[in-house]
Structure 1
Amino acid sequence: MELGMIGLGRMGGNMAQRLVAGGHRVVTYDKDSKAVGASCEFGSEGATSLNDVVSKLESPRTIWLMLPPGQPTEDTLGYLANMLKPGDTVLDGGNANYKDSMRRSEKLAAQGIDFIDVGTSGGIWGLTDGYSLMVGGDEAAVKRLEPIFHTLSPSPDKGYSRVGPSGSGHFTKMVHNGVEYGLMQAYAEGFEMLAAKEEFNLDLPSIAETWRYGSVVRSWLLDLAADALKEDPTLKSLDSYVEDSGEGRWAVEESVELAVPIPVITLSLQARFRSRQKQPFGGRLLAALRNQFGGHDVRKSGSS
């Protein structure tokens, strides 16, 4: 098949490369011309603009977006909507809010354009290992594009499914990322406990390797933790500063709307917030309160 790939960052560029290797014709575009040039080196056909992408594709066109959520995706879709024709399809593989995807699908459907939201997981390893694809959209449209999904997934019969109608792909990916937050936080807390027991002088890289085989907590995330600890057993090269990309927040907000308790995911998100604070005000107020009501000792700022 042929398709356009718009957005050639860490995910989009590798996905385009995997598609080309799988025999598809891929027209690539990014605001960064160097990224477009790099994509041409593995066999894609570079475009100089969104108009150029559309002009290089035969009808019915298929265009896949791998852009940051929010305005970049919104603006690009709005521009494309003025150029595409009935029967064309737009796929959004970025981490969009599922409510935005439902709205975008309805708007494009009025023009006869299919919109498919694809929750995409795999990170930088997807090029070689394949991607997990959680697809939402019209069943016939999804079926028509299955050769693309089969190429991107780890194998034609694994790692890909149509999970439901428009919006469901990004909803499923939101929950997936919330689970990811919780798993990562559990590993982080467990290894911090091991590191804190200094009297045992525990070998963390060795323990991680041990847990990788036969243990009920083995996983790909544990494999990555083992690699990180092997490279830097004390992780002194890193700051304890953890960003969040938005999906965890959406998951927590959705849990409130659905009245579904998700304490592990919620606390793992809060832990990321705390990691980004130096001398947080709340901690200082706690110290002040203990001093006020009980005369407890406090550590003055700058004393350590």
Structure 2
Amino acid sequence: MEIAMIGLGRMGANMAERLHRGGHRVIGVDPGEAARASAAERGFEVSATVADALATMSVPRVVWLMVPAGEVVDQTLASLSPHLSEGDVVIDGGNSYYKDSMRRSAQLLEEDVTYIDCGTSGGVWGLQEGYSLMIGGDAEAVQRIGAIFRTLAPAEDSGWAHVGPSGAGHFCKMVHNGIEYGMMQAYAEGFALMQRKTEFNLDLGEVAKAWQHGSVVRSWLLDLSADALQRNPQLDGIAPFVPDSGEGRWTVAEAIDLDVSAPVITLSLLERLRSREKNSFSDRMLSALRNQFGGHAMMKE
């Protein structure tokens, strides 16, 4: 099968290479010369423009987008639209907001082009291990291009699913990332607690290794924790600043809209926001209030 992969960042290039290894013809599209050169070294074709890439492909064509969520997706679709034909399929494999995906699907349907939203998990390990794919959109189109998903997944019959209509794929990926926030926060808090128990002088890397086998808390995230702690036991040189990609916020907002209690995911998001406060006004306010009502000492800077 022929696929144009738009966006040759680390994940897009890895996905393109996995497809290429699987016997598909892949044309990587990226405006960056360095990105194209790096991709070409991996063995698949590259192009600087969408028009040039699509001109070499047979209709109907498959275009996979691996670009940042938001306006960049709309801009990419706007530049792509004049070159699309009836029957073409566009797959958004990024972390787009599911309501945006539903809107884009309706827009492209007016041009007889199918839009598939594909939540993609696997990160930098996906090239070797395969990707978990949550696919939303037209069932016939998903079946027609199923060879692509089977190649990207860990196995032909596992790790991918057509989860529902347009928007469902990115909705599931949104919730997936919300769960990820909570799991990561729990590991972080647990290891912080053990690190603070200085009288035991715990080797956190060894604790993590023990938990990797037989423990009810074993997981891939724990495997990554063990690796990080063995490489850098005190996590030296890492700033206590945790970004968020936006999907945790969307998950919390959706929980509120649906009247679903999601305290763990919500608090894990708030903890990420707190990590960015270098001089917390709220903490200084708390200290001032304790001094006001109880005469408690205040630490001065």
- Give the TM-score band, short-chain normalised: over 0.9
1:48-86 CA distance string (max 9 Å, x none)? 212112212110011000000011111001221222011
The alignment status of 1:202 with 2:202, answered yes or no, reads yes
1:167-202 CA distance string (max 9 Å, x none)? 000000000000000000000000000011111111
Q: Look up the match of 2:269.
A: 269
Q: Look up the match of 1:51.
A: 51
Q: Distance in 2 between matches of 1:149 and 1:230?
A: 35
Q: Look up the match of 2:154.
A: 154
Q: Look up the match of 2:228.
A: 228
Whether the 8 Å contact between 2:32 and 2:48 is mirrored in structure 1 is no
- Alignment of structure 1 residues 129-278 onto 2, 5 Å: 129-278=129-278
Unaligned runs of 5+ in 1: none
Q: Distance in 2 between matches of 1:56 and 1:35?
A: 20
Given residue 234 of structure 1, which amino acid in structure 2 is its aligned partner?
A: Q
Worse-matched range after superposition: 47-56 or 197-206:
47-56
Q: TM-score, normalised by structure 2?
A: 0.99
The number of residue pairs the alignment matches comes to 301
Q: Look up the match of 1:280.
A: 280
Q: Look up the match of 1:90.
A: 90
Given residue 295 of structure 2, which amino acid in structure 1 is its aligned partner?
A: G
Given residue 70 of structure 1, which amino acid in structure 2 is its aligned partner?
A: G
SS of aligned partner of 1:27:
strand
Given residue 132 of structure 1, which amino acid in structure 2 is its aligned partner?
A: S
SS of aligned partner of 2:142:
helix
Given residue 217 of structure 2, which amino acid in structure 1 is its aligned partner?
A: V
Whether the 8 Å contact between 1:27 and 1:56 is mirrored in structure 2 is no
Q: TM-score, normalised by structure 1?
A: 0.98
The CA RMSD over aligned residues, in Å, is 0.7
Whether the 8 Å contact between 1:10 and 1:123 is mirrored in structure 2 is no
Unaligned runs of 5+ in 2: none
Q: Distance in 2 between matches of 1:85 and 1:263?
A: 46
1:82-118 CA distance string (max 9 Å, x none)? 2201100100000000000000001101110000000
1:271-294 CA distance string (max 9 Å, x none)? 000111112100000011111111
Q: Distance in 1 between matches of 2:249 and 2:30?
A: 28
Q: Look up the match of 2:116.
A: 116
Whether the 8 Å contact between 1:6 and 1:28 is mirrored in structure 2 is yes
Given residue 206 of structure 1, which amino acid in structure 2 is its aligned partner?
A: E
Q: Distance in 2 between matches of 1:252 and 1:150?
A: 32
Aligned-pair CA distance for 1:213: 0.4
